[in-house]
């Protein structure tokens, strides 16, 4: 039984094609020398203060030179195309702890950091520690070098900071969820309503310590006229391996295939090569992201290394109840089992800046 709702195309800047944005470059924000100096000064103080990452506040590290820029970035993420790339930091001159401190300060001003795993880590790492391929059930996407399919993360905003790029490959690729939806609605209006119905998602595959095998969410949320998307058919398909999960219908399989086909059509996506110091801010409701396969440097200290933040934002966006993975992620100061007090996260910047091996 399909959802009974009148569907219409999404209009506005959130519906874009990559080939139309590639030459504009207006999605790159270049930090000024004054802004870089402010961030470096605050970052050094953050490292010296060594605050608990669970409780430190944005007000503890106020921004002046970057204040207007932050408003612009957040508007781009919330109301605009759904992403912005910030360029100009100099991690080659910093310790990783200083880079992480600057990044975390900016993150606090964009939103509220949330836990990225059952250990409680607030600052996570995209750093390959395995040669496994993505089809290996034990592979974690952030710890391998394989190509990643387009997907959404588990927060309102996902941010990536490049400390060191790969030897070859590893481009970040994003695509507009609204544009994918518009194409599905245009080509198969009979299948489009299925995207608003709940699907089971493989939680265990995303986090080996997850307290349940799956969670439930629709792919598309239409609430008070606001379009949002949460996608990544890989984890819908692997959830079918659990016997308790209802089998996908032929129509659901068809719409998932159509979704994937459109996503990978030429011209739909936008690729960007991360330079050291680049920070990508991305709305998980507006854009999906992926990564090309990459080759690492042989030395561990030169390997491709990105820092990742998941942020919750207090914005006016309306969502249907239980949308995405928001229903199962945790606030930064509240472990899932408060009675046990089993917090194994790295909550000091010097330790948090080092990948778990």
pLDDT in tens, 78-103: 999 999 999 999 999 999 999 999 99
What digits encode the pLDDT tens for the residues 3-39?
A: 445 799 999 999 999 999 988 899 999 999 999 999 9
Question: Is this model's pTM higher than 0.85 or not?
Answer: yes
What domain count does the chain have? 1
In a domain, 182, yes or no: yes
So what's the pLDDT on residue 149? Answer: 84
What digits encode the pLDDT tens for the residues 113-127?
A: 999 887 889 999 988
pLDDT tier at 340 (50, 70, 90 boundaries)?
A: very low
β-strands 305-312, 124-126 pairing: antiparallel
| Residue bearing the bigger pLDDT, 210 or 342 | 210
Cα 36 from chain centre: 24
Contact between 86 and 76 under an 8 Å Cβ cutoff? The reply is no
pLDDT above 90 (res 278): yes
In a domain, 3, yes or no: no
Dihedral angle sign, alpha carbons of residues 300, 304, 305, 308: negative
Dist CA 78 CA 73 (whole Å): 9
In a domain, 320, yes or no: yes
* Phi-psi map region of 128: left, alpha, beta (phi>0 left; psi -120 to 50 alpha): beta
* Phi-psi map region of 313: left, alpha, beta (phi>0 left; psi -120 to 50 alpha): beta
pLDDT above 50 (res 184): yes
**CATH code, domain carrying 82:** 3.60.130.10
Lowest mean pLDDT of 60-69, 125-134, 175-184, name the range: 125-134
Q: If you average pLDDT over residues 46-71, what whole number do you get? A: 98
Q: Please give the share of the chain, as a percent, with pLDDT higher than 70.
A: 94
pLDDT tier at 298 (50, 70, 90 boundaries)?
A: confident
Dist CA 219 CA 198 (whole Å): 7
In a domain, 72, yes or no: yes
In a domain, 340, yes or no: no
- φ, ψ for residue 312, nearest 5 deg: -100, 130
Non-local (6+) Cβ contacts of 135 within 8 A are none
Domain with 55, as residue range(s), is 18-330+345-352
So what's the pLDDT on residue 56? Answer: 98
SS (H, E, C) the chain: CCCCCCCCCCCCCCCCCHHHHCCCCCCEEECCHHHHHHHHHHHHHHHHHCCCCCCCCHHHCCCCCCHHHHHHHHHHHHCCCCEEEEECCCHHHCCHHHHHHHHHHHHHHHCEEECCCCCCCCCEEECCCCCCCCCCCCCCHHHCCCCEEEECCCCCEEEEEEEECCCEECCEEEEEHHHHHHHHHHHCCCCHHHHHCEEEEECCCCCCCCCCCEEEEECEEEECCEEEECCCHHHHHHHHHCCCCCCCCHHHHHHHHHHHHHHCCCCCEEEECCCCCCEEEEECCCEEEEECCEECCCCHHHCCEEEEEEEECCCCCCCCCCCCCCCCCCECCCCCCCCCCCCCCCCCHHHHCCCCC
- φ, ψ for residue 158, nearest 5 deg: -115, 135
Dist CA 162 CA 35 (whole Å): 18
pLDDT tier at 64 (50, 70, 90 boundaries)?
A: very high
Cα 193 from chain centre: 25
Cα 158 from chain centre: 3
What digits encode the pLDDT tens for the residues 123-179?
A: 999 887 777 777 767 777 777 777 688 989 889 999 999 999 988 888 899 999 999
**Which residue in 75, 110, 80 sits closest to 311, CA to CA?**
110
In a domain, 13, yes or no: no
Q: Please give the share of the chain, as a percent, with pLDDT higher than 90.
A: 67
In a domain, 271, yes or no: yes
In a domain, 5, yes or no: no
């Amino acid at each position: 039984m399909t959802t009974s709702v009148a569907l219409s195309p999404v209009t506005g800047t959130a519906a874009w094609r990559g080939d139309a944005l590639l030459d504009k470059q207006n999605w790159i924000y270049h930090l000024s020398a004054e802004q870089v100096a402010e961030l470096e000064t605050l970052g050094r103080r953050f490292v010296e203060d060594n605050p608990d990452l669970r409780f430190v506040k944005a007000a503890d590290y106020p921004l002046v030179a970057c204040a207007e820029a932050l408003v612009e970035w957040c508007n781009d993420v919330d109301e605009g195309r759904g992403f912005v790339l910030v360029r100009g930091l100099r991690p080659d001159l910093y310790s990783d702890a200083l880079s992480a401190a600057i990044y975390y300060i900016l993150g606090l001003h964009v939103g509220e950091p949330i836990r990225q795993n059952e250990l409680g880590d607030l600052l996570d790492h995209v750093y390959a520690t395995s040669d496994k391929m993505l089809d290996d059930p034990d592979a974690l996407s952030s710890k391998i070098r394989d190509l990643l399919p387009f997907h959404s993360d588990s927060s309102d905003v996902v941010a990536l900071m490049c400390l060191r790029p790969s030897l070859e490959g590893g481009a970040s690729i994003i695509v507009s969820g609204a544009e994918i939806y518009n194409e599905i609605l245009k080509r198969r209006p009979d299948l489009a309503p299925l995207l608003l119905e709940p699907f089971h998602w493989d939680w265990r595959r995303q986090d080996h310590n997850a307290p349940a095998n799956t969670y439930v969410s629709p792919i598309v949320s239409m609430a008070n006229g606001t379009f949002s998307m949460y996608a990544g058919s890989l984890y819908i398909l692997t959830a079918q391996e659990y016997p308790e999960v209802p089998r996908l219908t032929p129509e659901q399989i068809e719409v998932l295939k159509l979704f994937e086909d459109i996503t990978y059509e030429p011209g739909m996506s936008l690729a960007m090569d991360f330079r050291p110091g680049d920070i990508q801010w991305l709305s998980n409701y507006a854009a999906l992201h992926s990564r090309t396969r990459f080759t690492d440097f042989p030395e561990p200290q030169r390997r491709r290394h990105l820092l990742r933040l998941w942020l919750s934002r207090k914005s006016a966006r309306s969502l249907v109840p239980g949308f995405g993975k928001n229903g199962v992620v945790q606030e930064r100061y509240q472990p899932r089992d408060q009675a046990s007090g089993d917090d194994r996260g790295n909550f000091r910047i010097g330790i948090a800046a080092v990948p778990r091996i």
